[in-house]
A and B are shown apart, each in its own frame.
Chain A
Amino acid sequence: MSPPDAARLFDQHHLAVFRFLRRMTGSLSLAEDLTQEVFLRVVRSIDSYEERSRETSWIFRIARNVLADRLRSQARTPVDAPVHDAVALARPAVQPLATALDQALSRLPDEEREAFLMREVGGLGYREIAEACGATADAARMRIYRARLALREALGSSRSAGARIPKEVSK
């Protein structure tokens, strides 16, 4: 079977990868930069893609590696902390929640945050998350569960303070 077409993979997955990376970094510009790097690596390594792993797992594993590489290089050369510019672009009605959610997400342990975002933003299942993160499906399930509990606790106070999800958002 021929390897998947890079353009098709980009069309299908770039938005999920971009939003995953935006939530992971808190920065739109950095997420764009990293998403570009992800698909550059996809193009370069598409011939070595193995059928055993699912496309989504493969792409998110690359996204995870790209992010880890960037964080490592930033640790070597200190730069300004990423600006949480996403909030500025959010619709006014969801701004309080967007801010609180971004802040709560940023306080989660990396493993829990990435598993939770792969599930909720990328739409990956437990097995796909496990493949992407090099963990088991049970570990993925528990990471997502712990992330939900932590976010619920963190947002509980802000929601009671008026940052409740607006009706138009809760579909």
Chain B
Amino acid sequence: MSPDPLVVLSAFMDGDPVAPDALAAALLAPGAREALVDFAALRAGLAADDSRPSLAFHRAMSGILGRRAQPAWRVMRRAAAVVVLALAALGAISLERRFRGNPAEEPPRATRVIQFTPGVDWHEGVPR
């Protein structure tokens, strides 16, 4: 006996293993398409629920779970500490570059050396 098509579609909706033949047969049954769409619509309707517990609930739960609530000033203090550390790191990198010197800014090495002797016309004999 073949299973009820809607039972197959319901199980398919739930991610239960369904034989491909059984699914194909179920989808051919009259009203199967509409049923599948309605099942999906039910799921979408429930998924649209974005209700959340209140802040008071979370405060109470923090007490139960032994968590210390984080006051706003503590969060701000931590954020400020992170900013100061980031600025200090940037400053250190900048100072290191300044003292070491950037290799790209060094002058090129000399390829020839010209001697300047006082009293001698240095233009003579110099290749152009």
A7 partner, pick from B41, B50, B60, B67, beta carbons under 8 A = B67
Distance in angstroms between the alpha carbons of A126 and B14 in the assembled complex: 8
Contacts of B38 on A, CB cut-off 8 Å? 152, 155-156
Assess whether A89 is interfacial by the CB under 8 Å rule.
Answer: yes
Contacts of A155 in B (CB 8 A): 38, 42
Count how many pairs of residues, one from A and one from B, have CB atoms less than 8 Å apart in the complex.
105
B16 in the interface, Cβ–Cβ < 8 Å?
A: yes
* B10 engages A148 (CB within 8 Å): yes
**Knowing A7-B67, A32-B57, A148-B42 touch, does A121 contact B14 (C-beta < 8 A)?**
no
A159 / chain B contacts, CB cutoff of 8 Å: 41
What per-residue 1/0 map shows which CB atoms of A122-139 lie under 8 Å from chain B? 000110000000000000
Measured CA separation A34–B45 after assembly (Å): 23
- The reply to whether the CB of B35 lies closer than 8 angstroms to some CB of chain A is yes
B48 lies within 8 A of chain A by Cβ: yes
Contact-residue size bin, chain A (C-beta under 8 Å from the other chain)? 35 or more
- Complex CA gap A10/B39 in Å reads 30
Question: If A14-B53, A126-B14 touch, does A165 touch B6 (CB 8 Å cutoff)?
Answer: no
> For the complex, would chain A's binding face be called helix, strand, loop or mixed by DSSP majority?
helix
Q: Is the CB of B43 within 8 A of A120?
A: yes
Q: Which residues of A contact B65 (CB under 8 A)?
A: 6-7, 10, 39, 43
Residues in B whose Cβ lies below 8 Å from that of A151 = 42
The yes or no answer to A63 lying at the interface (CB within 8 A) is no
User: Looking across the interface, which residue of chain B has its beta carbon closest to that of A142?
Assistant: B7
Is the pair B49, A19 in contact by a Cβ cutoff of 8 Å?
yes
Kindly identify which residue among B43, B45, B52 contacts A97, using a CB–CB cutoff of 8 Å.
Answer: B45
Knowing A40-B64, A169-B44, say if A35 contacts B53 (CB, 8 Å).
yes
Q: List 15 A-B contacts (CB under 8 A).
A: A7-B67, A10-B61, A14-B61, A18-B52, A19-B51, A39-B61, A40-B64, A43-B65, A91-B48, A101-B42, A144-B10, A144-B14, A151-B42, A169-B48, A171-B44
**Apart from the given pairs A23-B49, A101-B45, 8 other A-B contacts in the complex at a CB distance below 8 Å:** A90-B51, A94-B45, A142-B7, A148-B13, A152-B42, A165-B45, A170-B41, A170-B44
